[in-house]
Structure 1
Amino acid sequence: MCQFAQAQLTDLARLEYSFIPKSNSEDQYTRLRAILNYPIKVKKDAYLVVGGEYNRILLNLEDQYPFDTSSLDKIHVIDLSLGYTFKWNEKWRFGVKFNPRIASTLTSQLNSDDYFMNGGMFFITDRTEDEHVNKPHRLVLGLTYNATTGVPFPLPFVSYFRKINENWSFNAGVPKSNLKYTFNEKNNVQTFIALDGYLAHLQEPIIINGQNVDHISLSVAVAGFGYEYCFTKHLVAYLYSGYTFRLNNVLRNKDRNEIFKLDDVNAFYLRTGLKFKI
């Protein structure tokens, strides 16, 4: 599952629903997501953050395939998290986070292939509430490691937020960039580009053309529009809708080489939920 590092550092709780129907097909992808983080103050400007995330992915494969798809209908991604953040100096805050993960169909007893280790370290400078700054901004710089990407080394992370004026602001970075227009304290709209996806282990391997399939992955790049309604400064409901410009749903072998492509046709995208943030 593609992790938003900035959201991990600021979201205390989140409930979310995502939906992607397969074009010209009865197949569809649905994800239910829950996040909970609990900060514990250990000293002035320093916090230990413990939490977890659960994703239940439902693959409704109604088309005809040359193999049994029953073992693919439910995929579970479970993250435990341990983070620590403290004020480095007057301008910068440092954060580090470790995420042991279970990503599996969970149809039998857990084994070593079901476990993954993710994590990251981040430097954050936040001047969004500073009255002396003409253009309020926030910059997050870091390194992230995700065992599900297949890249055996940390990757750089950059996210830059800037408020242009009373109504307009933008966030530039990966996995999400947006341009937001704020009507008032309650309502805002945005255009966005985002990446999403997952990789999980199949506990009941599928044989396709004499080859064992041990993993399934989905990668999505999507662009669209979003709406947020702020009940309070911290409680936000949101709805993002768009269309994918890259979609790749693939069955892979133990070495994560592609064996069978379930879907690569771009489709409608919907994500909605409720979050409680710092």
Structure 2
Amino acid sequence: MEMKMQKLVIIFMLSTLGIGFAQETGSVYINSEILPNTDVGTIKKNEVGFDIPIKTITGKETISLFGEYQNLNIGYVDKDVPFETYQIDNFQTFSLGLLYDRILENGWGFSLKLAPQISSNFDIQEIDGRDVFINGTLLFDKLNQEKQSMWTFGVEYDAQNGLNFPIPIVAYTKRLNEKWAYKIGFPDARLKWTLHENHNFEAFTTLDGFAGNINDDLEVYKTDYVGTLKNTYLVGGLGYNITFLKDFELNAKAGYSAFNTMEVQDYDTDEIYDFDMQNGFYYNFGLKYNLNKKAKVKSPY
């Protein structure tokens, strides 16, 4: 089992390095997230990934490759859980996908993202078909350069927000001046104050979560089940971002969840066990290296 996991990690790292050094734009990042919960346990999520354009067609179309490895660990403290939590205290997720962007007429554009991933507790040797999740996003946007604003509409299905259905995306983004900009919408809203060219503060709300396959039987109340572990949370808070050494970005966020739920579900999405998660604090720390900061950003934010 350990040998298979090592091979997957090595393949991921080699693909990142090979593409990263071959391209002129893009980014590589690491991120760490903590959601302490005194009643159930502490969720720790660590991520490393890349996002790199690999082809530009006639200046109006771009194809980008992105990938991510995520390790999620849950330190359970609830002694009344009716099963052995060691089976579902660690999940690993491997993602690799493509993003297609196209600029249309009159400020319109659209993006299509396909992101297959493997997410599992890897409790058995083989990779099961249910370890594989297929995610996708379709977005349309309308940019008004004169007013420095943009509308965004679309739909997203992402197993990693812990939901069993596609969610709508709608947002209005506006730059007020050199210091202030905001984004109102769902599932993400932000207000940014730029203190200096390399420093800014940000208030935010965002939807996030986790989903991973439990690829072996889980005994709950002396009955064996198969299914998935799913976590969904909506958080709001404040963040600080700093750019240093030209191409490095460091960010730190702290907030509180307004909604937090975690369940073991069967493959029909029926509840097997609800952990009764309570709302609590949220912390996030990240570091990103931009391979080329001159890459054009379409958003006025």
Give the TM bin, normalised by the shorter chain. Answer: 0.7 to 0.9
Q: CA deviation at 1:242?
A: 0.7
Aligned CA RMSD, in angstroms, stands at 2.3
Q: Distance in 1 between matches of 2:64 and 2:227?
A: 34
Q: CA deviation at 1:276?
A: 4.2
Distance 1:174 1:217, change over 3 A: same
Distance 1:104 1:180, change over 3 A: same
Residue 230 of structure 1 is aligned with which of 225, 233, 243? 243
- The residue correspondences of 1:28-177 to structure 2 (distance < 5 A) are 28-45=42-59, 46-64=61-79, 65-108=81-124, 109-127=126-144, 130=145, 133=146, 135-146=147-158, 149-151=163-165, 154-177=166-189
Residue 266 of structure 1 is aligned with which of 269, 279, 287? 279
Q: TM-score w.r.t. structure 1 length?
A: 0.85
Task: Please say if residues 67 and 208 of structure 1, whose CA atoms lie closer than 8 Å, have aligned partners that are also in contact.
Answer: yes
Q: CA deviation at 1:203?
A: 1.0
Note if 1:184 corresponds to 2:196: yes
Q: CA deviation at 1:11?
A: 6.9
Q: Distance in 2 between matches of 1:85 and 1:192?
A: 26
Consecutive unaligned residues in structure 1, runs of 5 or more? 1-9
Task: Please say if residues 246 and 264 of structure 1, whose CA atoms lie closer than 8 Å, have aligned partners that are also in contact.
Answer: no
Q: Deviations over 1:166-221 (max 9, x none)?
A: 32211112222111211111111122111110121101221212351521111111
Distance 1:42 1:169, change over 3 A: closer
Q: CA deviation at 1:272?
A: 1.1
Q: Distance in 1 between matches of 2:196 and 2:154?
A: 32
Q: Deviations over 1:42-77 (max 9, x none)?
A: 422222211212211011113313211111121112
Residue 19 of structure 1 is aligned with which of 31, 34, 43? 34
Consecutive unaligned residues in structure 2, runs of 5 or more? 1-24, 296-301
Task: Please say if residues 175 and 181 of structure 2, whose CA atoms lie closer than 8 Å, have aligned partners that are also in contact.
Answer: yes
Write the letter of the residue equivalent to 1:83: L
Distance 1:142 1:233, change over 3 A: farther
Task: Please say if residues 204 and 238 of structure 2, whose CA atoms lie closer than 8 Å, have aligned partners that are also in contact.
Answer: yes
Q: Distance in 2 between matches of 1:83 and 1:179?
A: 26
Higher deviation after alignment, 66-75 or 258-267: 258-267
Note if 1:206 corresponds to 2:227: no
State the SS of the aligned residue for 2:197: coil
Distance 1:120 1:204, change over 3 A: same
Note if 1:250 corresponds to 2:278: no
Structure with a larger share of its residues in helix = 2
State the SS of the aligned residue for 1:183: strand
Task: Please say if residues 37 and 277 of structure 2, whose CA atoms lie closer than 8 Å, have aligned partners that are also in contact.
Answer: no
Q: Distance in 2 between matches of 1:275 and 1:158?
A: 26
Q: Distance in 2 between matches of 1:89 and 1:187?
A: 34
